[in-house]
Amino acid sequence: WLKNICFSSLGWRNVNYHQSPFICLARLIPMADPVANAPVAPAKGPKKKRSPNRLVVEEALNDDNSVISLSQAKMEELNLFRGDNVLLKGKKRKDTVCIVLADDNLDDSKIRLNKVVRKNLRCRLGDIISVHACGDVQYGKRVHVIPLHDTLE
């Protein structure tokens, strides 16, 4: 096994036998790695939160499909007020618009979503979604109710 080892200025390395047909047996002790012996910089306090608008999904208590619940502290942190429109971004580039309400019994890192809203965002309980303030949302002008193909005879 020694015939495939060669000493270089960077330490020991494996080489092809045809590149280096001889071995220096006097230098069988590998050199210390200068990067490993470098002093480690002290840690700079606690890490900052990744983003204040990323929240963990929790089950909603009400049955309204257009309402989400946030804690009052999180609403103040995101500069949201009761009844504001928010844009929720979920998985697979899905997003939806909802109305935000305050909930005193909710943790600051969680958001309460209805089952219909979770299905629109393609997320499940425990997933992380992002919440963004949304400006004025215009009212819809038309609604198309089209029957499904399997209900037609």
Q: Comparing C-alpha atoms, which of 34, 67, 50, 46 is closest to residue 109? A: 50
The span from the CA of 43 to the CA of 34, in Å, is 21
Q: What per-residue confidence (pLDDT) applies to 26?
A: 44
Cβ atoms within 10 Å, residue 102: 17
The span from the CA of 103 to the CA of 69, in Å, is 6
Residue 61 corresponds to which amino acid? Answer: L
Write out the chain's pLDDT in tens, 153 residues.
444 455 554 454 455 545 554 444 444 445 555 555 556 555 565 665 578 899 999 999 998 999 999 999 999 999 999 999 999 999 899 999 999 999 999 999 999 999 999 999 999 999 999 999 998 888 889 988 888 777 666
Residue 69 per-residue DSSP state:
E
Q: 10-47: string of b/e by CB count within 10 Å (b at 16+)? A: eeeeeeeeeebeeeeeeeeeeeeeeeeeeeeeeeeeee
Residue 120 near residue 94, CB atoms below 8 Å = yes
Structure tokens at 38: 């470098």
Q: Comparing C-alpha atoms, which of 52, 70, 51, 50 is closest to residue 60? A: 70
User: pTM to 2 decimals?
Assistant: 0.61
Q: What per-residue confidence (pLDDT) applies to 137?
A: 86
Q: What is Dmax (Cα atoms) for the chain? A: 90
Q: What per-residue confidence (pLDDT) applies to 34?
A: 53
